[in-house]
Amino acid sequence: MRNIPIGQYLVEEKVITPEQLDAVLEKQKESKGQKFGDVLLSMGFITDVQFAQALAKKNNIEFVDLDDVKLDAELVRKIPEATARKYTVIAYGMKGTRLQIATSEPFDFYMFEDLRAVTGANISAVMSTKSAINKAIGRMYSEGQADSIAREATDEKEAEVNLEDLRDLSEERIENAPIVKLATAIVENSYRKGATDIHIEAFKDITKIRIRVNSDLIELMTLSPALHVSLVTRFKILSGMNIAEKRIPQDGRMSQVIDGTTVDLRVSNLPMVYGEKVVLRILAGDESVRKIQDLGMTDYNYKRFVSCLKVPQGVVLVTGPTGSGKSTTLYAALGEIAKPNLNVITVEDPVEKKIANINQCQINEKAGMTFGAALRSILRQDPDIIMIGEMRDTETAEIGIRAAITGHLVLSTLHTNDAASTVTRLVDMGVDAYMVATSLIGVVAQRLTKVLCSCKQAVMSTPEDNALMEIDHSVPIYKACGCAKCNKTGYKGRTAIHEILLATPEMKEIIAAGAKSEQIQTLARQQGCRLLRDNVSKLVQEGVTDIGELVRVTYAV
């Protein structure tokens, strides 16, 4: 390979455009000393995987995706954890007598010398991304660690240690307290397993730690009830709650650095019969906003959704139950339409993801900063686009609808089961039907459905399956099995399904006339709206998910 700069190589390979290269080089000059790759990734022109693959191809080095590779624990421990974290490397395999290491810096010769001295072996490199290596380091070096920390904490009778006294100790001694290490390990292990929520539950003879992965709660570990009070107190201290108050629910927020990534957590505390229950919601963090196409939206639905976002004024609503990815879709929509010449303001409770170049407003009920109060002020802030976290009451809904009628694009969420019932819900909340009809652009109803792991098995659909999928003949479909990759669940990851209702002139007419949700749904279907059931039925036939998920996500009596 001729020795050309990586930027020029990326242009030749059509990974980035010449204009993007110029923009990156300009930004690099301003940032003084920042590496080309770091600037390129921060600008979001390519992903870290694309960059690492291009760098590997240019220099004829093998690229590996560590998320899909089973590493040898014995080989990994040839490199001490401190060294692995210092250089962001992990032992990948043996090639003859050479130890292969996964690295994102294959030309750091000082690192190679250091690793040769530590391991006593010659080193060769394979290419991977920094984030994948950090994840693998966390996963491989901490396996079994949480259990030993829990045993250590139990042995020391942590319940007798007053955690409030830890405030006065040095930081190093606090971090080494077994209960503190246990709290840290619980969050780390949950995050690495892809959990969205962590439940710490007190029962009569046991404390259970359960995590929600792919919509299902699975048990992470069980602890002695003697540790419960101390563990809860630790999370209350971290999230800024009142540790002396144990009679009423409290909410807080905390963050923790895991494998080089700062993870934000929303913490909820609720008194129960045998002690306080703590639930930690793992938020998406300050990652770059995902594109709409990456969220599982079909090409047909994507075109319908984008047509909604092109309308300069009106309301676009995203609906679905809690945890169905509504906020992620809204953030993706903002990423699509937020341009430098527009003033975008959001009002959220809480702000789940901080986004560059967007004004985000946090609700504070205690201080009188309600959705209504915030929205009234926002309308005096010369906004072009307003995002309302949730239309949870009549006042918020009315102000949002009025803002849309007076020339703003308003994005918001609502908790309803499908797109058609969203209209009737707004009317039930006290918004006049003619105002809903005038302001509405479109409604996106969505759910998250689990994706089958590669260990799935093919079967022929039964007459019952055909009835559920609304087809008249048997077709090959797949069922979940379970393997080591998917923790024996049969599923790996989730994808979204959507139902997009457009407010056409005919639709506005029947809404203003006070139509029921059944009439709205019938007209929507005639006008090309594909229902949630149609979406998930297509995924079952494509082998993406199974009949069990179709029933779970869309079944109605």
Residue 157, pLDDT above cutoff 60 = no
d(CA 2, CA 11): 15
Residue 289, pLDDT above cutoff 70 = no
Query: Which residue in the block uniquely carries the two structure tokens 């996964």?
Result: 102
* Residues 239-254 pLDDT 10s: 999 999 999 999 998 9
Average pLDDT, the chain: 87
Residue 291, pLDDT above cutoff 50 = yes
Quick one: tokens of 482?
């379970």
Q: How confident is the model at residue 162 (pLDDT cuts 50, 70, 90)?
A: low
Amino acid at 515: A
Spatial contact of 421 and 499, defined as CB atoms under 8 Å apart = no
Residue range 366-390: mean pLDDT, rounded: 89
Q: How confident is the model at residue 476 (pLDDT cuts 50, 70, 90)?
A: very high
Alpha helices in 126-214 (DSSP H): 130-142, 145-155, 171-176, 178-192
When comparing pLDDT for 368 and 555, which is higher? Answer: 368
Q: How confident is the model at residue 198 (pLDDT cuts 50, 70, 90)?
A: very high
Residue 295: per-residue pLDDT: 80
Please give the share of the chain, as a percent, with pLDDT higher than 70: 93
d(CA 478, CA 171): 53
Residue 554, pLDDT above cutoff 60 = yes
Residue 175: per-residue pLDDT: 64
d(CA 243, CA 133): 37
Residue 1, pLDDT above cutoff 50 = no
CA proximity to 494, closest of 333, 323, 288, 351: 323
Query: Which residue in the block uniquely carries the two structure tokens 């994005």?
Result: 411
Residue 349: per-residue pLDDT: 81
Q: Which residues pair with 202 in a beta bridge?
A: 207
Q: Which residues contact 262 (CB under 8 A, 6 or more apart)?
A: 255, 256, 285, 286
d(CA 406, CA 117): 70
Residue 169, pLDDT above cutoff 60 = no
Residue 127: per-residue pLDDT: 92
Residue 92, pLDDT above cutoff 80 = yes
d(CA 390, CA 392): 6
Residue 269: per-residue pLDDT: 95
Spatial contact of 20 and 45, defined as CB atoms under 8 Å apart = yes
Q: How confident is the model at residue 159 (pLDDT cuts 50, 70, 90)?
A: very low
Residue 276: per-residue pLDDT: 94
* Residues 260-284 pLDDT 10s: 788 889 999 999 999 999 999 998 6
pTM beyond 0.85: the answer is no
Quick one: tokens of 435?
């105002």
Please give the share of the chain, as a percent, with pLDDT higher than 90: 40
Residue 32: per-residue pLDDT: 73
Q: How confident is the model at residue 547 (pLDDT cuts 50, 70, 90)?
A: very high
Residue range 163-180: mean pLDDT, rounded: 63
- CA 438 vs CA 383, 390, 502: distances in Å: 20, 20, 13
d(CA 443, CA 319): 7
Residue 158: per-residue pLDDT: 43
Report the DSSP pairing between strands 261-272 and 123-127. Answer: unpaired
Residue 203, pLDDT above cutoff 90 = yes
